Amino acid sequence: MNYPMKAFSIFLLAVAAGVFVPSAAVASLTAPSEVEQWDLIELTLEGPSEGNPFLEVRISATFSDGFQSKVVDGFYDGDGVYRIRFMPDRTGTWTYVTHSNRSRLTNRQGRFTVTPAGEGNHGPVGVYQTFHFAYADGTPYFPVGTTAYNWLHRNDRLRTETIDTLAQSPFNKVRMLLYPEDEKGRPLPPEFPFEGTDPRAREWDFERFNPAFFRRIEEGILALRDLGIEADVILFHKYGEDWGFESMDVETDDRYLKYVVARLAAFRNVWWSVANEWDFVRTKTMADWDRYFEILRDKDPYGRLRSIHNGFRMYDHNKDWVTHVSIQNGAAVEESGRAQMYRDVYEKPVVYDEVKYEGDLVQRWGNLSAEEMVHRFWAGTVAGTYVGHGECYQHPTREIWLTTGGVLRGESPSRIAFLRDILESVPGRVNPIDKWQDPTAGGVHGEHYLVYFGREAPAEWPFRLFRRGVAEGQEYAVEIIDTWNMTITPVEGTFVVTREDGYHFVDREGRSVELPGKPYHALRIRRVGGDSVFAAEELPLL
């Protein structure tokens, strides 16, 4: 397997920045002299390989641009090679100095220039306006995710098919397992995170990582990054029981997490998911899960997004180390009014990463119709939350998207793409408009609205807007959206509003919007002319 960093031109053009003449006592060091903002710079040093460097050698570096400093842990990559990876978040001149308990690796100094971010590089994603997300440069980010647990742990054909499929899909986030699931009856994964000789016998050397495994993961993260897709990396899960990774002791767990952070945190498209169905992992305690979060918070110098995914039992997402809420709950997005309740409980972005899956399995979690999957996306959207996709259509080769990636066979992705286009075409984020009275409407008060009727099939909709942000005489344009057939039909004319009562404005002439009387329809309502009422309420990126 070729080393993944070849994908970076900066590594092909690496020059000696602060390089000392190698000798028996001083390790050679290479690093790029230039990198763009929010990209990855890597220091590569040759050092000792005797003994067990994974346990015995510590290495880190301090990076500074004169205004801020960050201390970043490095890692041993095998064969006497040590690496320190860093993502600069500001342009200008940066310096670094290394630290180690080995004289050959310590006090190595150099500098590099950080240039403005290039096209398509918006930086990492963070929390925005409490309930939403944005890239570091302020570009809106609407998570439209999917799940392909083991796509990095299959053969090269499947991996290539997965990337090709994602390139043509609407998905901008992928949930994926860091270590593989044990799928009995299938060939063994090509690599494992630890050195070992017999995976089925759990003959692992938990004191030595397998760098080739992590290089394979890095290749996948880079491939996703180049497509503009976030990598939601799941760190623990129950479904590798035969490998024994869910039963590692405390020291091994913590060492594993710190090594993963040192290798992957500098990739700007990485998110941390502490676990998939955390409550099904019976070998861990609540104190363990809390400690994992603390390690990620304390060791990750970039504050990457952190979540944890549930089975039956909810984690307390109010804990301050949780950045956003990742939920498995299909019933919550069957209706918009249910979906918004978790927002009120946690006051954080809510992502329904698992709402059951489109497919034809006998299990109830894997046999949603495409219509139902699309409906759940819309119901969650107008509630001001985000919904994730998954697919479980049976295939003779057992290549099911949810587990192996490969090829999508369902009918929901094109409709999800249609929804994503709508979200990215309107100003602001979608928040509940009148959540305690009318959960069908989301948007920005007085600016734009999405009204979703779900399974109902009304023949008309009396034009009525909740009072906040609306004023006498304002004018609105309306479009009818067929969420399944992916059509948008403008309604003739505009609606000029007048106050109806203490809560609502209606059309001055008492008009209604005529509808086709079919399910899965929505309205897009946009204010015509005028300044933004709530422009002053925009909040900075957190």
- Asked if residue 431 lies in contact with residue 185, where contact means CB atoms within 8 angstroms, the answer is no
pLDDT of residue 398: 84
pLDDT of residue 268: 98
% of the chain with per-residue pLDDT over 90: 86
Taking each helix axis from N to C terminus, what angle separates 250-264 and 286-299, rounded to the nearest 10 degrees? Answer: 30
* Residues 228-251 as b or e (16 or more Cβ within 10 Å = b): ebbbbbbbbbbbbeebbbbebeee
What architecture is the 431-537 domain classified under in CATH? Answer: Sandwich (2.60)
What is each CA distance from 234 to 148, 149, 220, 278, 400, in whole angstroms?
11, 9, 14, 10, 19
Dihedral angle over CA of 299, 301, 302, 306, nearest 10? 10
pLDDT of residue 131: 98
User: Whole-angstrom Cα distance, residue 318 to residue 322?
Assistant: 7
Among 116, 60, 56, which residue's Cα sits nearest to residue 92? 116
**Residue 268: Cβ-neighbour burial (10 angstroms; 0-12, 13-18, 19+):** buried
Angle at 521 between CA 520 and CA 526, to 5 degrees: 145
Number of residues that make up the chain: 542
What is each CA distance from 131 to 214, 260, 308, 342, 356, in whole angstroms?
33, 28, 17, 11, 23
State the amino acid at position 198 in one-letter form.
Answer: D
User: Whole-angstrom Cα distance, residue 432 to residue 451?
Assistant: 10
pLDDT of residue 1: 39
pTM, two decimal places: 0.92
Q: Which residues contact 42 (CB under 8 A, 6 or more apart)?
A: 5, 11, 31, 32, 83, 84, 85, 86
User: Whole-angstrom Cα distance, residue 311 to residue 308?
Assistant: 10
As a three-state string, the secondary structure of 292-336 is HHHHHHHHCCCCCCEECCCCCCCCCCCCCCCCCEEEECCHHHCCH
E strands, 163-307, where? Answer: 173-177, 194-198, 203-209, 230-237, 270-276, 306-307
CATH 2.60.40.3950 intervals, the chain: 431-537
Order of strands, sheet of 29-30, starting from the edge strand that comes earlier in the sequence = 29-30, 41-46, 81-86, 75-76
11, two tokens: 């590594």
User: Which has more confidence, 83 or 436?
Assistant: 83
pLDDT of residue 202: 83
Taking 90 as the threshold, does the pLDDT of residue 21 lie above it?
no
pLDDT of residue 15: 29
For the chain, how big is the Rg over CA atoms in Å?
A: 25
State the amino acid at position 234 in one-letter form.
Answer: I
Distance separating the N- and C-terminal Cα atoms of the chain: 38
CATH 2.60.40.10 intervals, the chain: 4-115
Taking 90 as the threshold, does the pLDDT of residue 320 lie above it?
yes
pLDDT of residue 28: 83
- What is the average pLDDT score of the chain? 92
| Mean pLDDT value across residues 397-405 | 92
26: DSSP letter? S
**Residue 80: Cβ-neighbour burial (10 angstroms; 0-12, 13-18, 19+):** middle
Residue 149 CB neighbour total at 10 angstroms: 24
| Mean pLDDT value across residues 19-38 | 70
76: DSSP letter? E
Residue 225 CB neighbour total at 10 angstroms: 20
262, two tokens: 């040192």
pLDDT of residue 27: 65
Band (68; pLDDT cuts 50, 70, 90)? very high
Band (6; pLDDT cuts 50, 70, 90)? very low
Phi, psi of 92 (to 5 degrees): 120, -165
541: DSSP letter? B
Taking 60 as the threshold, does the pLDDT of residue 14 lie above it?
no
Taking 50 as the threshold, does the pLDDT of residue 136 lie above it?
yes
| Mean pLDDT value across residues 62-82 | 97
Which fold does the domain 125-425 belong to in CATH?
Answer: TIM Barrel (3.20.20)
- Asked if residue 242 lies in contact with residue 204, where contact means CB atoms within 8 angstroms, the answer is no
Order of strands, sheet of 230-237, starting from the edge strand that comes earlier in the sequence = 306-307, 270-276, 230-237, 173-177, 145-147, 386-389, 350-354, 325-328
| Mean pLDDT value across residues 310-321 | 97
What architecture is the 4-115 domain classified under in CATH? Answer: Sandwich (2.60)
What is each CA distance from 472 to 433, 508, 511, in whole angstroms?
18, 9, 16
- The H or E element spanning position 417 is helix 412-425
381, two tokens: 């959207």
| Mean pLDDT value across residues 113-131 | 97
Band (535; pLDDT cuts 50, 70, 90)? very low
Among 530, 425, 526, which residue's Cα sits nearest to residue 476? 526
User: Which has more confidence, 353 or 1?
Assistant: 353
Band (12; pLDDT cuts 50, 70, 90)? very low
User: Whole-angstrom Cα distance, residue 348 to residue 236?
Assistant: 23
pLDDT of residue 531: 58
User: Which has more confidence, 436 or 90?
Assistant: 90
